[in-house]
Amino acid sequence: MSKVYDLIILGAGPAGLSAGLYAGRSRISTLIIEKSKDGGQIAITDEIENYPGSLPEETGPSLIKRMTDQAAKFGVERCADTITEVDFTGEIKKITGTKGEYLAKSIIIATGANPRPMGCPGEKEYVGKGVSYCATCDGAFFEDMEIYVVGGGDSAVEEAMYLTRFGRKVTIIHRRDQLRAAKSIQEKAFKNPKMDFMWDSVVTEVKGEDGVMTSMIVENVKTGEKTEIFADEEDGIFGLFVFVGFLPTTQLFEGKVAMENGYIIGDENMHTNVPGVFVAGDCRVKSLRQVVTAAADGAIAATQVEKYLEHLEG
């Protein structure tokens, strides 16, 4: 018979690790299941400036390592597995993964979100061959080359500035005529001599030869004019980094909990519509998706799990 945990946390991003920390300190038997590496989106973020108390020159990986170590300190168990099915119908919840079955009295869904693709022809074919969604992962591949960044929010502009460490020129392609990023971030970007901007524009197609991206079609949304941008002949390739938002990683829970536009609905105390199932972080309906709000969600969810378990035993 599989062990029945008090709590299983699905996901080891800031929300899941924060929940694990609080649950561990409360002596709740807890298992965190993560299919890849800890951290979610911040694991691929170079600079963390808006998390209270973060260290100077803080990076996503450095912050998440401290979170992981802190959760482990309080006895939280870990498992690396890909979940394929969930059953939330009984008092004991059943999680099925590729490596086995896991049972718990309560669940916190903290599966986060993944980068949203542009959705244009050729994009999928050239992921890892010119197209990327992670500046810290792939920036070094484009040393002294042309780099383009699609997007205009905080992440897009911050990652574009990071990419100026590698590319000889970094151009932001944005569908509007002004950035959406915070003013402080914009000011830094406009002062950076290696930054350029292509306004009112979208990428409509990505093309390539011999297995690598060699050109893209950019359309001006106001005039309809299309321009094909080619890689420098000597380079043979350029970098196209896409930061246009995220899609919640929640497909597994469709029909299992109430959702809205793919995001899981939770109240202010992280309760879903299913007793014993809670939600935290970027996968839930909320107004602000940041490390600090994910961590707060996790803390609230774990505290509510403790109350739920007391009620079960009462």
Active site residues: 134, 137-138
What is the three-state SS of the chain? Answer: CCCEEEEEEECCCHHHHHHHHHHHHCCCCEEEEECCCCCHHHHHCCCCCCCCCCCCCCCHHHHHHHHHHHHHHCCCEEEECCEEEEECCCCCEEEEECCCEEEEEEEEECCCEEECCCCCCCCHHHECCCEECCHHHHHHHHCCCEEEEECCCHHHHHHHHHHCCCCCEEEEECCCCCCCCCHHHHHHHHHCCCEEEECCEEEEEEEEECCEEEEEEEEECCCCCEEEEECCCCCCCCEEEECCCEEECCHHHECCECEECCEECCCCCCECCCCCEEECCCCECCCCCCHHHHHHHHHHHHHHHHHHHHHHHC
